[in-house]
């Protein structure tokens, strides 16, 4: 099939590359000329494992193209996939301005046979709204399909090629069938729904996962109070098939581009429709508290932080991405410096993006060794592989005081206990002090 994808962010670029990988002819469009020139050279503007290899291979095969020209991309295409950003607005609602502009842009090119697929995360009713907007511009009925994405940053390619399910929502059976055919080479489960149900599935899924994270973090805080171990508790819970093990890792809360804004957007939708949703309010409140729990632990240990050198390991909101959106490292860094600490941070890929958000209130190291040297304490914020695999005894020897506060519970307990002198403070379990 001949497909155009509007937007080359995480969702648009991953989608375009994977659709070309399964045999379709895809043109990705973006208004950012620098980004398009970079992509034409086979260079991905985002860090995503495996993406550049597939990008280059499909460009070489002639199935994948990049352009800033709507005319070049949209004339004669069968399917237009819209994957532009829907950031959070000041009131918590999704900002649809990029989507509205995309609808206006494509309205001159759609035909009665063109299928418009909205892959962006949007509030219930948005497909109807955008469909009407396009129809007002072009003068005929447009085939609309809601096809929400369920990609995890750091594993977007695998999540596309080996999806748990694909949701296709439409009131047009022919259009839904064609999108089903588009994905058929993936050989993954497909669920056909109404448009509004498809829109709701995305928000309901992300809000549930966010709530699950906040729940286990509250259990972790209770475990600390009563002397239990949240790792054991989560393992015991997760073996129950009704609960499952995923998203039961206690830590410092959720971040990224999806969970924070999607929970707030769903809460906003509930409010607009007169539905009280206190569970979501509490999910948000718990997460806000949890994001700075490492700071509270550090303050409790030292009493005051003025003049203390604190090393932060990991800045991205999760491993295998350079995304800093809603990363816990942001409020942690700001709070530590507010209390007078000297903060030096290390991240293998996110430093450039972190500088733009956190700025020069902290220092940035080029290695773990540089960050931890003569540090009074180390705070583990992102569980990168090189952080999890660090030589703990050697790290302790380089620090001024061997104090580790682990926000991800990612260091092996047996290696900690093998150290001759260390203070280790995890989340939701007793500290180890040797």
Average the pLDDT over 252-278 and give the result. 94
Segment 20-56, tens digit of pLDDT: 999 999 999 999 999 999 999 999 988 888 999 999 9
Reading the block at residue 275, the tokens are 């539905």
Q: pLDDT value at position 162?
A: 93
Q: Catalytic site residue 138?
A: no
Q: Is 197 inside a domain boundary? A: no
- Mark whether 253 and 305 lie in a shared domain: no
Average the pLDDT over 389-402 and give the result. 94
Beta strands 309-313; 143-146: pairing state: unpaired
pLDDT band per the 50, 70, 90 thresholds, residue 91: confident
Q: Is 383 inside a domain boundary? A: yes
Which CATH number do you get for residue 257? 1.10.1040.10
| 185 secondary structure, DSSP code | G
Please say if the pLDDT value at position 79 is more than 90.
yes
Which residue is catalytic, options 18, 258, 410, 419?
A: 258
Residue that is last in its domain, among 192, 222, 249: 192
Which H or E run contains 425? strand 423-425
pLDDT band per the 50, 70, 90 thresholds, residue 406: very high
Reading the block at residue 424, the tokens are 């280790």
Calpha distance 366→6 (Å, rounded): 36
Reading the block at residue 206, the tokens are 């992300």
SS3 319: coil
Residue that is last in its domain, among 245, 260, 289: 289
- Mark whether 183 and 307 lie in a shared domain: no
Instruction: Give residue for tokens 């490292």.
Output: 329
Q: Note whether 48 and 10 are within 8 A (CB).
A: yes
Helices 278-290 and 259-272, axial angle in degrees (round to 10): 150
Give which of 42, 157, 30 is closest to 102, Cα–Cα: 30
Q: Is 46 inside a domain boundary? A: yes
Q: Is 40 inside a domain boundary? A: yes
Give which of 88, 153, 143, 148 is closest to 110, Cα–Cα: 143
- Mark whether 333 and 424 lie in a shared domain: yes
Give which of 362, 361, 254, 367 is closest to 313, Cα–Cα: 367
Question: How many residues in total does the chain contain?
Answer: 434
Q: pLDDT value at position 219?
A: 98
- Mark whether 270 and 306 lie in a shared domain: no
Reading the block at residue 369, the tokens are 């060794």
Q: Is 412 inside a domain boundary? A: yes
Helical H segments across 320-363, by residue range: 329-338, 351-358
- Structural domains counted in the chain: 3
- Mark whether 177 and 105 lie in a shared domain: yes
Which CATH number do you get for residue 45? 3.40.50.720
- Mark whether 257 and 309 lie in a shared domain: no
- Mark whether 320 and 271 lie in a shared domain: no
Beta strands 79-82; 115-118: pairing state: parallel
Instruction: Give residue for tokens 């150290």.
Output: 419
- Mark whether 317 and 273 lie in a shared domain: no
Which H or E run contains 342? strand 342-346
- Per DSSP, the residues of 197-253 read HHHHHHHHHHHHHHHHHHHHHHHHHHHHHHT--HHHHHHHHHTSTTT-STT---SS-
Q: pLDDT value at position 257?
A: 82
Q: pLDDT value at position 155?
A: 87
Q: Note whether 348 and 385 are within 8 A (CB).
A: no
Q: Is 351 inside a domain boundary? A: yes
- Mark whether 38 and 109 lie in a shared domain: yes
Segment 225-249, tens digit of pLDDT: 999 999 999 999 999 999 999 999 9
H helix count then E strand count, the chain = 19, 15
- Mark whether 261 and 326 lie in a shared domain: no
| 353 secondary structure, DSSP code | H
Q: Note whether 54 and 18 are within 8 A (CB).
A: yes
Q: Note whether 186 and 22 are within 8 A (CB).
A: yes
- Mark whether 257 and 109 lie in a shared domain: no
Segment 120-168, tens digit of pLDDT: 999 999 999 999 999 999 989 999 999 999 988 888 899 999 999 999 9
- Mark whether 216 and 256 lie in a shared domain: yes
Residue environment code for 114-127, b if the CB has 16+ CB neighbours within 10 A, otherwise e? bbbbbbbbbbbebb
Q: Is the dihedral of CA 333, 334, 336, 342 positive or negative?
A: positive
Average the pLDDT over 294-298 and give the result. 97
Helices 126-138 and 97-106, axial angle in degrees (round to 10): 30
Q: pLDDT value at position 263?
A: 96
Q: Is 244 inside a domain boundary? A: yes
| 359 secondary structure, DSSP code | G
SS3 146: strand
Q: Is 274 inside a domain boundary? A: yes
Reading the block at residue 50, the tokens are 């495996």
Residue that is last in its domain, among 140, 172, 192: 192
| Domain, as residue range, for 163 | 2-192
């Amino acid at each position: 099939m001949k497909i155009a994808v509007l937007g080359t962010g995480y969702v648009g670029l991953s989608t375009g590359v994977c659709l070309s990988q399964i045999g379709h002819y895809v043109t990705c469009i973006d208004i950012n000329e620098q980004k398009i020139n970079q992509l034409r050279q086979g260079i991905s503007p985002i860090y995503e494992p495996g993406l550049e290899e597939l990008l280059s291979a499909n460009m070489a095969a002639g199935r994948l193209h990049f352009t800033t020209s709507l005319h070049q991309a949209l004339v004669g295409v069968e399917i237009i996939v819209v994957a532009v950003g829907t950031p959070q607005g000041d009131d918590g609602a999704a900002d649809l301005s990029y989507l509205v502009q995309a609808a206006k842009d494509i309205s001159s090119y759609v035909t009665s046979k063109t299928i418009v697929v909205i892959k962006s995360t949007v509030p219930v009713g948005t497909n109807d709204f955008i469909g009407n907007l396009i129809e007002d511009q072009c003068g005929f009925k447009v085939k609309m399909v809601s096809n929400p994405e369920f990609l995890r940053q750091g594993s977007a390619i695998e999540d596309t090629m080996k999806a748990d399910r694909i949701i296709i929502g439409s009131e047009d059976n022919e259009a839904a069938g064609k999108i089903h055919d588009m994905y058929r080479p993936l050989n993954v489960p497909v669920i056909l729904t109404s448009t509004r149900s498809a829109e709701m599935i995305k928000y309901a899924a992300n809000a549930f996962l966010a709530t699950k994270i906040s729940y286990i973090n509250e259990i972790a805080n209770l475990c600390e109070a009563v002397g239990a171990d949240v790792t054991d508790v989560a393992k015991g819970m997760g073996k129950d098939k009704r609960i499952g093990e995923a998203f039961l890792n206690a830590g410092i809360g959720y971040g990224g581009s999806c969970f924070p804004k999607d929970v707030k957007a769903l809460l906003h939708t509930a409010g607009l429709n007169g539905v009280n949703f206190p569970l979501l309010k509490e999910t948000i409140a718990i997460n806000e508290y949890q994001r700075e729990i490492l700071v509270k632990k550090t303050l409790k240990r030292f009493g005051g932080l003025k003049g203390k050198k604190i090393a932060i390991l990991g800045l991205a909101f999760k491993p295998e991405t350079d995304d800093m959106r809603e990363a816990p490292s942001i409020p942690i860094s700001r709070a530590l410096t507010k209390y007078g600490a000297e903060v030096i941070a290390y991240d293998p890929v996110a430093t450039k993006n972190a500088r733009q958000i956190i700025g020069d209130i902290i220092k940035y190291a080029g290695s773990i060794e540089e960050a931890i040297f003569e540090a009074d304490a180390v705070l583990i914020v992102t569980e990168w592989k090189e952080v999890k695999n660090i030589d703990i005894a050697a790290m302790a020897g380089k620090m001024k005081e061997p104090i580790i506060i682990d926000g991800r519970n990612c260091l092996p307990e047996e290696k900690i206990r093998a150290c001759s002198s260390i203070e280790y403070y995890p989340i939701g379990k007793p500290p180890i002090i040797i």
